[in-house]
Amino acid sequence: LLYERHGEPAAVVQLKDLEVPKLGDCDVHVKMLAAPINPADINMIQGTYPLLSPLPAVGGNEGVGEVLEVGHHVTALKPGDWVIPADAGLGTWRTQGVFPEEMLLKVPSDIPVLCAATLSVNPCTAFRLLADFESLAPGDSVIQNAANSGVGQAVIQIARASSIKTINVVRDRPDLPKLVERLMALGADHVVTEEMLRKPEMKDTFKSTPRPRLALNCVGGKSTTDMLRYLQPKGTMVTYGGMAKQPVMVPVSAFIFRDVRLRGFWMTQWRKDHAQDKESVATMMDALCQLIRRGQLTAPACTEVPLQDYRTALEASMKPFVSSKHILLL
């Protein structure tokens, strides 16, 4: 799926037949199996993301493929192995591709294909958010908005596996009871709407659950200010998205009297910073694959779409209140 200019995805993305390039000595020929449509993919096509691929570009930053053939100098991969992108910008919305070996990470092929296809962005983000900012212990709690997003669902499950409680904020919507039920089934301790977060009764939540030491913000605007109110003194809020397209507003008192910390996180930057640190990447991937094998981490709610129906999938991905991730089957 190729785009030659930036613009609205359904208008600029086209399905094109291209020759598969020749296999170089350090290259890997991959047959793609499945690749999701993420918000960052849409923003890259629109030209509004901080990281843009040179045009013409193939869409998609995430997905899983099977190795068909390897070049003479490739040692870490062999035909039949499953691989995912080592970094953003790979262009995963294609049936086949030839990539340099260092652009791929091997993953076990005994995990479900949809888990592997959605592994490199959201679960990794969730893992780092929970690991890198506060040293959380069993019984501690975390509050997050956009809890039904791919990252939100992964945070709930990874936290649950470590006995960390989650307070999950979602926007009010027509099918709210169904969404609450789904998040509770994943292991959420509390699910509240943004309106409920502003009500005095919210304090009752903290009779059974400690106030959070960590807040995860993917929305911005009012939602952020409301979450901050419940953060413990010296707690940390990490912003990793801005779905409301509004700034993060913090009362001065939160800084002076409660010494809260505000941080930011971008998975792409983490990967750049750790490009030479193979061990920390491997540790993270192993931990996530173990959780998947034990059934403690599942793929987000997915809608599977054949490649030729890509326009429908792109349009559906951009609608409000999307609770299901569209995955292109390649």
Known catalytic residues?
49
Q: Could you tell me which residues come within 8 angstroms of residue 58 by beta carbon, excluding any fewer than 6 positions away?
A: 1, 2, 91, 92, 93, 94, 97
255: three-class secondary structure by DSSP: helix
Identify whether the C-beta of residue 146 lies closer than 8 Å to the C-beta of residue 218.
yes
CA–CA gap between residue 243 and residue 130 (Å, rounded)? 20
Q: Where are the beta strands (DSSP E) in 194-235?
A: 214-217, 220-221
Identify whether the C-beta of residue 111 lies closer than 8 Å to the C-beta of residue 127.
no
Q: What is the DSSP string of 16-51?
A: ---PPPPPPTTEEEEEEEEEE--HHHHHHHHT-SSS
Identify whether the C-beta of residue 42 lies closer than 8 Å to the C-beta of residue 9.
yes
Tokens of 69: 């053939």
Tell me how crowded residue 227 is: count the other CB atoms within 10 A of its CB.
22
Tokens of 225: 């200010």
Stretch (H or E) spanning 205: helix 205-208
Tokens of 153: 């669902």
* Spatial CA neighbour of 145 closest among 254, 264, 240: 240
Q: Is the dihedral of CA 248, 36, 7, 52 positive or negative?
A: positive
